[in-house]
Structure 1
Amino acid sequence: MRTLEDPTSTRFADHDTLRCARGEIADEVEPAARRVFGAQGSAWLAPIWRTLARAAEHLPLCRDEDETHAAPLWLKAGDWVATQDAVARIESRRRIPPALSWMAEAQYHQQGLEAVWPLLSELAWLSPRRLDALIRRLVDPLLRTLRKTFDARFDGDGTIEDLIWFPAGC
């Protein structure tokens, strides 16, 4: 529990250091917080995620391991503006599925579903798997209804890859 005992107030030296700190929180602290605090566990963890995100802001996106970037940490902290700022610093972000997903999620929480349709459309094309994961995370009733309708009516393979056509089906 080094991360809780000695919160990072400086920058992470590299992606490995961030990976270790993030792993401690995600694998040990987060499940415990959810057991103890229930739905309030996320609020309790937000300052911890915020501290990690600040310490990771200087690290570039590592395409092989996208969870070692500040943007998903800002998302976990619930800071949508900081998430957008972190994503905005990623070169070619509109062609990188994790960055596109992070931006869509942050904008969704600020502006709603209608505002993020262009990003969802791009994400569907680039990574149907990431779109599927994002739809599940957003817990938007309209989006879930559209997804169920699409799944029931679309004449495809019945795989996640069918989601390439989700925006057109909507």
Structure 2
Amino acid sequence: KQLLQYVRDLFVAGTETTTSTLRWSLLCLIHNPKTQEKLRKEIFEVLGQEKIPAFENKSKMPYTSAFIQEIYRYRTLLPLSVTHMTNEDANICGYTIPKGTTIAPNLWAVHNDPVVWDNPEKFKPERHLDADGNFVQLKHVIPFSVGPRHCLGEQLARMEVFIFLVSLVQKF
């Protein structure tokens, strides 16, 4: 029964979040034509117009990876993540959180912290590239949460977003 629930959650939760991520991607492409051109250029250089996108191509596509990571940061789909419960007393920044307390991690605050991000309200995929144009996976982009109870469907979602986004930009 539990396994069926997990599979259902993967399909239901995964479908909506992936769809929303792709919708935000399209909106950002519409509002940022130069970004759209950079993304399209990289896709054509790596895949051309006919090759079918595969997740294995991602390592050759730093700008595409940076674009997707910026979408995850810029439009956090679950701003307060999924609630959890403390399994022991915790002390954070001088505050005691008793065992059994329900908590909601604030992913939006992590993704929009002005101490970490220059102009967090701006959509800038380049912030995820180093000086040589290589993709940098930053620890402050955590759309799937972190730790042992992070999103069960993270790998599937990352693959879906990459393949669908690349396919859309490649064909349209």
Higher helix share goes to which structure? 1
Q: Report the TM-score range of the alignment, normalised by the length of the smaller protein.
A: under 0.3
Higher strand share goes to which structure? 2
Which structure's relative contact order is higher, taking Cα pairs within 8 Å and 6+ residues apart? 2
Bigger Rg, structure 1 or 2: 2
- Normalising by structure 2, we get a TM-score of 0.24
